[in-house]
Structure 1
């Protein structure tokens, strides 16, 4: 059995047990779990292997790429602009970003753009590595692009492009580059999270591994693809091939230092579980003296904006979306209807819950597609807080 380190508050033992079970059959996996309730840390656990190539163990301060959980954290930044009166979710995005209005996108609201309804879920042209690492290049590309469907009328998951939309919203409405705004928010609750990996952090970041269920899923998708047509869902993940379909290889994709060092707000945040849980906790409860969002703002930004089948066919169950936040659904179970957050590729899960005043983060470097690990932990926590 994998040795698990850390602390669990009395009454939360079953949550710790569910975390320990997550390592069963995965001897090269590393992971961390952090849970706060009413601002207080009740679970702080870690274990396993941070780098399977060297055997480096996962430590308390080991950060890892959290993939699309980054979108939820970026959405907190956007919500803070709503709270301050500098942003209106129902105004056209072009009101603060005029260039985005090209090709009929001028009526897309800020809220719809955050809810995956902007029509630019994937680039029409293949992105180069230089563009991928250049925030300005990507926002310019998306602003000029003709949408893939009539914006606002349907949705498709903006797997990576969402981050350049939310990041530009932060920059235009907030006047601060998204990497700087992200760093300031993380620092306010103790640090341990970055959007754009600093050089001094590189050696400590967990090395990502692709598990068998994710490899098998990608192979099935590749085999069923019609080479005569564009698979827009695949392009949303790879941006035309600059990233692998699994998002990582042993030494490329989000395992490459130059990619990790770039500001990629749709998937590129690097963080400890403790840092992510603290940020989510601070949206619903005073957390180490900090409250990132007030209750009224939380109600506004977590109103459902997207549900049902996407424009590009995909099997049910389908997720539900608010203004950048993933809501509780059959596709991703949180604690219940008062939860909002975002999961991430390979098994990352992070969220807050208004009623139970929970901030939660499960982070792992072992990436799977068929993945009960975090779900079992959330189920255990639900039983406790209920």
Structure 2
């Protein structure tokens, strides 16, 4: 596999591992970009733009981020807080009165970001068309009874995170989250990122689809068996959280790609994802720093930890971001970011000045710790330690 792009001196090992993802880990088309202290040090791409095609991946190819979009949505809410427009300690119902129903009166904005709002699933799942309708989706979440008392526990809000964050932005600003991100996040960071793929950019977005993961040896451990059983049981909270949109949407459908679902269907280039995270922790070439130090600390200070009611495995969250841990191993304990189910990964590490963006068109089964992304993170850590 021919790997295109460049690496700074000392990072050739990352390039090698990126190539190995194609020969040993089922990769079809992917890109990786890494910034350090605001300067790009790794820019790699290879394979095909479409998982089922033969057109080469281009430097400006964009891909579906799935839950990698959650980190962008969180940045929007934290930016509103930084500007004094959104109080993280206010009830969600202070901005969205209809949400104050069925025991959710005390759910706070920070609970939404930390996956503690108590509504990770819907009793009546939405169709893809309903999920894309801002009014219908918001009403469904507002009417949902919580699965636990908000604030008392945490569980990954896989799909409902879309409607919780999007509606808060809409109530506070009067604009959709896609519009807000375009003007206040993507443009200042000079990052190719979209929530709601614009028609003018659709030609850049590759088709996605499943690819086989690398073979694993040995029997499953007891925790892994429990996780597999939860995903296999349609009645479990795990399955219901991911099935809040039923039937599963066609992720290559132009209508779905144009929808504004900040929990699951943002699009971006690897450079756009890396630039976004670089702009959260400092100045970046050609872009503007988005957060002040206090906002950065909010994002990466632990707000939820322990067994996750949805993911089953222990998870750790700051406000809107996964933190380094069992569910999502990142570069160092200081890292914060968000994976996308089946592949994508974006994160920042303030201690090393690293911002990382990896996108792929080949979706594997894992939710948080994709073996391709993890191999790249490991090789990057080794290169940094060697330097």
TM-score normalised by the chain length of structure 2: 0.90
Q: CA deviation at 1:212?
A: 2.9
2:261 equivalent among 243, 246, 264:
264
Equivalent residues in 2 for 1:54-65 (5 A)?
Answer: 54-65=53-64
Check the 8 A contact 2:241/2:310 in 1, yes or no: no
Q: CA deviation at 1:322?
A: 1.1
For the residue of structure 2 that corresponds to 1:51, the secondary structure is: coil
Mark the CA change 1:209 to 1:240 in structure 2 (over 3 Å): closer, same or farther. Answer: closer
Please name the residue that 1:369 is paired with: 365
Q: CA deviation at 1:147?
A: 1.2
Please name the residue that 1:178 is paired with: 177
Please name the residue that 1:192 is paired with: 192
Please name the residue that 2:292 is paired with: 294
For the residue of structure 2 that corresponds to 1:180, the secondary structure is: helix
Please name the residue that 1:121 is paired with: 120
Partner Cα distance (1:226, 1:275) in 2: 37
1:242 corresponds to 2:247: yes
Mark the CA change 1:43 to 1:285 in structure 2 (over 3 Å): closer, same or farther. Answer: same
For the residue of structure 1 that corresponds to 2:120, the secondary structure is: coil
Mark the CA change 1:354 to 1:175 in structure 2 (over 3 Å): closer, same or farther. Answer: farther
Mark the CA change 1:379 to 1:213 in structure 2 (over 3 Å): closer, same or farther. Answer: closer
Equivalent residues in 2 for 1:105-120 (5 A)?
Answer: 105-120=104-119
* Cα root mean square deviation, aligned: 2.3
Partner Cα distance (1:225, 1:9) in 2: 44
1:332 corresponds to 2:328: yes
Please name the residue that 2:41 is paired with: 42
Mark the CA change 1:207 to 1:296 in structure 2 (over 3 Å): closer, same or farther. Answer: same
Please name the residue that 1:246 is paired with: none
Q: CA deviation at 1:213?
A: 4.2
Q: CA deviation at 1:174?
A: 3.6
Partner Cα distance (1:73, 1:60) in 2: 21
Please name the residue that 2:68 is paired with: 69
Check the 8 A contact 1:28/1:52 in 2, yes or no: no
Mark the CA change 1:172 to 1:221 in structure 2 (over 3 Å): closer, same or farther. Answer: same
Q: CA deviation at 1:28?
A: 6.3
Q: Report the number of matched residues.
A: 371
Please name the residue that 2:345 is paired with: 349
Partner Cα distance (2:231, 2:379) in 1: 37
Partner Cα distance (1:308, 1:53) in 2: 39
Moved more, 203-212 or 72-81: 203-212
What are the Cα deviations for residues 327-359 of structure 1, in whole angstroms up to 9, with x where unaligned?
110221111121111001112110011111211
Check the 8 A contact 2:123/2:144 in 1, yes or no: yes
Q: CA deviation at 1:262?
A: 0.5
Q: CA deviation at 1:242?
A: 2.3
What are the Cα deviations for residues 62-113 of structure 1, in whole angstroms up to 9, with x where unaligned?
1000000100111111111121122222221111222111111010111111
Please name the residue that 1:31 is paired with: 30
TM-score normalised by the chain length of structure 1: 0.90
Which runs of no fewer than 5 residues in structure 2 stay unpaired? 217-223
Mark the CA change 1:124 to 1:293 in structure 2 (over 3 Å): closer, same or farther. Answer: same
Please name the residue that 1:150 is paired with: 149
